[in-house]
Amino acid sequence: MTFVATLISSPARPSIEDDVLAEARRILGTRHPTRMLHGEVAAEMLVDCDAERARALEAELRARFSGLPIDVAVLPSEGRRKRLFLADMDSTMIEQECIDELADYVGLKAEVSQITERAMRGELPFEPALRERVALLRDLPLGVVDEIIARRITLMPGGRTLVATMRANGAYACLVSGGFTVFTGPVAAKIGFDEHRSNRLAVAGETLAGRVEEPILGREAKRATLVELRERLGLSPQDTLAVGDGANDLAMLEAAGLGVAFRAKPAVAEAAHVRIQHGDLTALLYLQGYAASEFVGAA
């Protein structure tokens, strides 16, 4: 079999220098030429081996470059470009956790953030943790949502380019979040997703009622969304790509042809097919074999 070893660094700290490439080639034992995907930001090289050897090589590369801001993946060379993309929102496509920002308006950000962190690490079941946090937001004015979107929510670097490039090459993109439609709607529109799915906050007049409408979109619902869209579009599991950072993303990442843990909690990073800690979201394009010259839109 032929695999592709991809090295990706942060665009802010390009680190794929000649000595790194030489060491990577030595470890891989490859005679195939190196393909530069973007200056000193990303590069790839083919290696002929079986799946077990590919896993061992990835671990060796990761250990060797552990002191550098470099992400490593060794993946099959076939079927690299995906046709269905599912993404988590909070701390993945945006830099914040929306529920924590809402809690800040009632002086409970520290308390709510702690629950959020534990839920994302898998230490608490997602659904009851969400209900508990939302209950603390009762009577919060709905107008706060628009203010948070305008003043506090920032897009994760590379997200617009990732979605625009995949869609320009025929992929379908869905934002699927355990968060709330009042946020996923505007965020999906800003980034350019085809659709979005998330939870609905119950309201009482012009304030939050402190409840989430059932059923709650959590871990299994994210996986079910991937399977539903895959079947609707007539795609194979290999055609799918998913990205997320928390425990409620694990089932979706495992069901995808390529599941990427993006700046994720340790348990999620350990379980995913690929972990990206240093690159921005354009790393997911490099994993699919896109060079920067093929990117669509601004990062």
Q: What's the burial of 244, exposed, middle or buried (CB within 10 Å: 0-12/13-18/19+)?
A: buried
Model confidence at 19: pLDDT above 50: yes
Model confidence at 218: pLDDT above 80: yes
Hey, what domains does the chain have and what are their CATH numbers? 1-78 (3.30.70.1430), 81-299 (3.40.50.1000)
pLDDT at 298: 56
Q: How far apart are the first and last CA of the chain?
A: 34
From residue 58, how far is each of 5, 114, 132, 261 by CA, in Å?
8, 34, 40, 16
From residue 121, how far is each of 230, 232, 253, 270, 283 by CA, in Å?
27, 32, 15, 12, 23
pLDDT at 299: 47
Q: What is the pTM of this model?
A: 0.96
Catalytic residues, by residue number, are 88, 90
Yes or no: say if 127 and 133 are a contact pair by the CB < 8 Å rule. no
Yes or no: say if 41 and 285 are a contact pair by the CB < 8 Å rule. no
Amino acid at site 244: G
State pLDDT tens for residues 153-200. 999 999 999 999 999 999 999 999 999 999 999 999 999 999 999 999
State pLDDT tens for residues 117-144. 999 999 999 999 999 999 999 999 999 9
pLDDT at 150: 95
pLDDT at 297: 83
What is 13-35 written as a DSSP string?
S----HHHHHHHHHHHT--SPPE
Name beta bridge partners: 76. Answer: 3
Task: Check the CA dihedral 184-187-191-194 and report its sign.
Answer: positive
Model confidence at 73: pLDDT above 50: yes
Query: What average pLDDT does range 76-80 have in this prediction?
Result: 97
CA distance 291 to 44: 10
pLDDT at 106: 87
State pLDDT tens for residues 48-61. 999 999 999 999 99
